Amino acid sequence: MGLRSIVVMILAIITLLLEIQTCLSAEISRANFPHGFIFGTASSAFQYEGAVKEDGRGPSVWDTFSHTFGKVTDFSNADVAVDQYHRYEEDIQLMKDLGMDAYRFSISWSRIYPNGSGAINQAGIDHYNKFINALLAKGIEPYVTLYHWDLPQALDDKYKGWLSTDIIKDFATYAETCFQKFGDRVKHWITFNEPHTFTTQGYDVGLQAPGRCSILLHLFCRAGNSATEPYIVAHNVLLTHAAVADIYRKKYKNTQGGSLGIAFDVIWYEPATNTKEDIAAAQRAQDFQLGWFLDPLMFGDYPSSMRSRVGNRLPKFSSSEAALVKGSLDFVGINHYTTFYARNNSTNLIGILLHDSIADSGAITLPFNGTKAIAERANSIWLYIVPQSMRTLMNYIKQKYGNPPVFITENGMDDPNNIFISKKDALKDEKRIRYFSGYLSYLQASIKDGCNVKGYFAWSLLDNWEWAAGYSSRFGLYFVDYRDNLKRYPKQSVQWFKNFLKPAK
């Protein structure tokens, strides 16, 4: 390479670095994003609604799990949660005050079908009609998730839920009911929230409902098979999504004009070292996370690394199933919070101990490289703040999957719910402001790279019940006072978002 070429290359690198620095140092705002870009907050029915025994709602597996001793760290349950079932008009006004364009929420399957199938519960239909109408009346667009982990308990009892292909028909009936009742106003549907999470946490390690695993010879879970059940569940989820997408496209899309996607959980994985082994391990970790679900939807089959490492425990798609699954997404939802290191598992110790999907990946993923943390931590033990990975991840999706339309369906961080922290101090959430500013800056940079990102949803509007963490974790822009009638108070991040979302003059 000649001297001139070297100088040109150095100047190009300097220019790029200056552009990035300018982007990140400037106060980012809505004006930095494309016209029509959607901003909203996200939630789920079980974490927000409460009212678990009202108006005909049937129990879900999470009702059962959260009432089982030792499954939730603070021994709480979501019977009341943050009571959005009754307070939705107040909460919609908070969204309006923030300047948000949209609200992502989920419908409780067992409010529509208390037994998972059979007779429709009209009170459930009426509630969500009122809820959707109240959003639209305030100019807030509904983005509706059909399944955010709350499987009707009756279906788990009847045929073990997602372990049976029987669920495909029952879920499709539920989904079609929602299209019929709400599709004239709902234009963005998300069939599943984080299928990888409820597959592995519910059927591999047993830390979430329905709590199935075979780790330590069933000392931890009463039933399950960690070597096979996660793969069966994931396969049935993909077939179910494809069946629902087929129904929507054939019967509703032309008249209703909506679109349909899935929200995937994605930790970004950085190789722990620059060795070939760790670089390959980082890719395998991603294959066994995002690729497990997105590869079949884009390419018609599971990643080759899964096929070779899981063998005959990994189900196969028939040619007709593969054709139905492939291309069944209109958009890709991404729930991205954090980044881990990935290291090649050079021993088989994890495989011997676990014999599950985690061991099958052959990758050890941790937020530490030796004793050094990857970045500053939020409250959750898994959530480290690495904003630049948002840009890296968006470019990865663009390059690997052909630049599909993407919505960031969740992004956020938590503070502890500490009784020794005064409410006044709890409202000072400078770390959350830094988090959002950083991740949104790198998201905007990825759009400048050409990534096809259409919207962003912050997790979450309110502090809420955080699954197995209970009320110990506060993700909200608004502080919820659990000791004083669940009153909502704006944290400093609310004012930051109000400024961020102000329309350009």
Cite the active site residues: 194, 410
Q: How many CB atoms lie within 10 A of CB 268?
A: 23
User: What tokens does 233 get?
Assistant: 């569940």
Closest by CA to 171, choosing from 182, 155, 157, is: 155
Q: What is the full DSSP assignment across 198-215?
A: HHHHHHTB-SSTT--B-G
494, 432 contact by CB (below 8 A):
no
Dihedral of alpha carbons 63, 67, 73, 75, sign: positive
What's the Rg (C-alpha) of the chain?
Answer: 22
Run of H or E including 480: strand 478-481
CA 213/CA 209 separation, integer angstroms = 11
CA 294/CA 287 separation, integer angstroms = 9
CA 362/CA 351 separation, integer angstroms = 8
Phi first, then psi: give them for residue 386, nearest 5 degrees.
-130, 75
Type of residue at 158: K
Q: CA-CA distances (angstroms) from residue 96 to 62, 82, 285, 483?
A: 31, 19, 40, 26
User: What tokens does 45 get?
Assistant: 């029915």
395, 338 contact by CB (below 8 A):
no
Q: What is the full DSSP assignment across 122-140?
A: HHHHHHHHHHHHHHHHTTP
Length, in residues, of the chain: 505
Closest by CA to 478, choosing from 131, 39, 43, is: 43
CA 364/CA 345 separation, integer angstroms = 6
Q: How many CB atoms lie within 10 A of CB 360?
A: 23
CA 401/CA 396 separation, integer angstroms = 8
Strand 473-474 and strand 102-106: pairing? unpaired
